[in-house]
Amino acid sequence: MTVGSDRISDAPIETGGMPTVPVNSDPLTRDPIIDQKLGWVGKFFGYGDEKKGNIAGLAFVFSSLMLAFCVIGQFFIEEESARGTISGLITPLFGLITGLLGYATGQKMSSD
Protein backbone atom coordinates (compact mmCIF):
# COMPACT_ATOMS: atom_id res chain seq x y z
CA MET A 1 0.00 0.00 0.00
CA THR A 2 1.40 3.37 -1.01
CA VAL A 3 0.61 6.51 0.97
CA GLY A 4 0.81 9.90 -0.69
CA SER A 5 3.15 12.55 0.70
CA ASP A 6 0.22 14.89 1.38
CA ARG A 7 -1.23 12.33 3.79
CA ILE A 8 2.01 11.85 5.75
CA SER A 9 2.00 15.34 7.27
CA ASP A 10 -1.62 14.86 8.36
CA ALA A 11 -0.87 11.67 10.28
CA PRO A 12 -1.62 11.94 14.03
CA ILE A 13 1.78 10.56 14.98
CA GLU A 14 3.56 13.36 13.08
CA THR A 15 1.61 16.14 14.75
CA GLY A 16 1.40 14.60 18.22
CA GLY A 17 -2.37 14.80 17.99
CA MET A 18 -2.19 18.64 18.06
CA PRO A 19 -3.30 20.81 15.15
CA THR A 20 -0.40 22.30 13.19
CA VAL A 21 -2.22 25.44 12.14
CA PRO A 22 -3.49 28.23 14.41
CA VAL A 23 -6.76 27.29 16.10
CA ASN A 24 -8.23 30.80 15.98
CA SER A 25 -9.05 32.28 12.61
CA ASP A 26 -8.84 35.82 14.02
CA PRO A 27 -5.24 37.06 13.65
CA LEU A 28 -5.60 39.44 16.62
CA THR A 29 -6.49 36.67 19.07
CA ARG A 30 -3.62 34.91 20.84
CA ASP A 31 -3.28 31.25 19.87
CA PRO A 32 -3.21 28.96 22.95
CA ILE A 33 -1.09 26.35 21.15
CA ILE A 34 1.78 28.82 20.77
CA ASP A 35 1.79 29.34 24.54
CA GLN A 36 2.12 25.59 25.04
CA LYS A 37 5.07 25.33 22.65
CA LEU A 38 7.06 28.40 23.77
CA GLY A 39 7.72 27.92 27.47
CA TRP A 40 8.62 30.83 29.76
CA VAL A 41 11.88 31.71 27.98
CA GLY A 42 10.14 31.73 24.61
CA LYS A 43 7.37 33.94 25.96
CA PHE A 44 9.98 36.48 27.06
CA PHE A 45 12.27 36.41 24.01
CA GLY A 46 9.86 35.29 21.29
CA TYR A 47 10.52 32.54 18.78
CA GLY A 48 11.90 32.10 15.30
CA ASP A 49 14.09 34.72 13.68
CA GLU A 50 13.05 37.57 15.99
CA LYS A 51 14.37 35.73 19.07
CA LYS A 52 18.00 36.56 18.25
CA GLY A 53 17.17 40.22 17.74
CA ASN A 54 15.22 40.36 21.00
CA ILE A 55 18.15 38.89 22.93
CA ALA A 56 20.53 41.38 21.26
CA GLY A 57 18.15 44.22 22.14
CA LEU A 58 18.00 43.15 25.76
CA ALA A 59 21.79 42.90 25.93
CA PHE A 60 22.00 46.37 24.32
CA VAL A 61 19.75 47.86 27.01
CA PHE A 62 21.74 46.26 29.84
CA SER A 63 25.12 47.26 28.43
CA SER A 64 23.89 50.81 27.78
CA LEU A 65 22.75 51.06 31.40
CA MET A 66 26.12 49.76 32.57
CA LEU A 67 27.87 52.33 30.38
CA ALA A 68 25.71 55.11 31.80
CA PHE A 69 26.50 54.01 35.38
CA CYS A 70 30.22 53.89 34.58
CA VAL A 71 30.24 57.37 33.06
CA ILE A 72 28.17 58.86 35.90
CA GLY A 73 30.27 56.97 38.44
CA GLN A 74 33.40 58.70 37.12
CA PHE A 75 32.09 62.00 38.49
CA PHE A 76 31.20 60.73 41.96
CA ILE A 77 34.05 58.34 42.80
CA GLU A 78 36.98 60.04 44.46
CA GLU A 79 39.29 57.04 44.86
CA GLU A 80 41.79 56.91 41.99
CA SER A 81 42.07 53.11 41.79
CA ALA A 82 38.29 52.72 41.54
CA ARG A 83 38.14 55.40 38.84
CA GLY A 84 40.77 53.51 36.86
CA THR A 85 38.78 50.29 37.10
CA ILE A 86 35.57 51.97 35.98
CA SER A 87 37.25 53.83 33.13
CA GLY A 88 38.70 50.48 32.01
CA LEU A 89 35.14 49.16 31.59
CA ILE A 90 33.99 51.99 29.33
CA THR A 91 35.91 50.94 26.21
CA PRO A 92 34.77 47.28 26.23
CA LEU A 93 31.18 48.40 26.83
CA PHE A 94 31.37 50.66 23.76
CA GLY A 95 32.67 47.69 21.78
CA LEU A 96 29.84 45.48 23.01
CA ILE A 97 27.22 48.12 22.24
CA THR A 98 28.48 48.76 18.70
CA GLY A 99 28.68 45.01 18.06
CA LEU A 100 25.09 44.54 19.23
CA LEU A 101 23.90 47.43 17.10
CA GLY A 102 25.69 45.94 14.11
CA TYR A 103 24.07 42.58 14.74
CA ALA A 104 20.60 44.05 15.22
CA THR A 105 20.72 46.32 12.17
CA GLY A 106 22.97 44.22 9.92
CA GLN A 107 21.94 42.47 6.77
CA LYS A 108 21.35 38.74 6.71
CA MET A 109 23.71 37.15 4.18
CA SER A 110 22.87 33.82 2.60
CA SER A 111 25.40 31.35 1.25
CA ASP A 112 23.40 30.79 -1.94
- 88 against 110, higher pLDDT: 88
Entry pTM: 0.57
The distance from CA 77 to its chain's CA centroid, rounded to whole angstroms, is 35
Question: Where do the DSSP E strands lie in the chain?
Answer: none
What gap in Å lies between CA 76 and CA 1, rounded to an integer? 80
Express each pLDDT in 9-47 by its tens digit.
555 555 555 655 655 566 677 666 666 677 677 777 776
Residues 6 or more apart whose CB falls under 8 angstroms from that of 57 comprise 100, 104
Handedness of CA 64, 66, 70, 76 (dihedral sign): positive
Q: What's residue 111's pLDDT?
A: 59
Q: Which residue type occupies 18? A: M
- 83 against 49, higher pLDDT: 83
Write the DSSP symbol of residue 27: T
| Domain boundaries defined on the chain | 49-106
Q: Which residue type occupies 53? A: G
Does pLDDT of 2 surpass 60? yes
Q: State the CB neighbour count (10 A cutoff) for residue 91.
A: 9
Express each pLDDT in 7-16 by its tens digit.
665 555 555 5
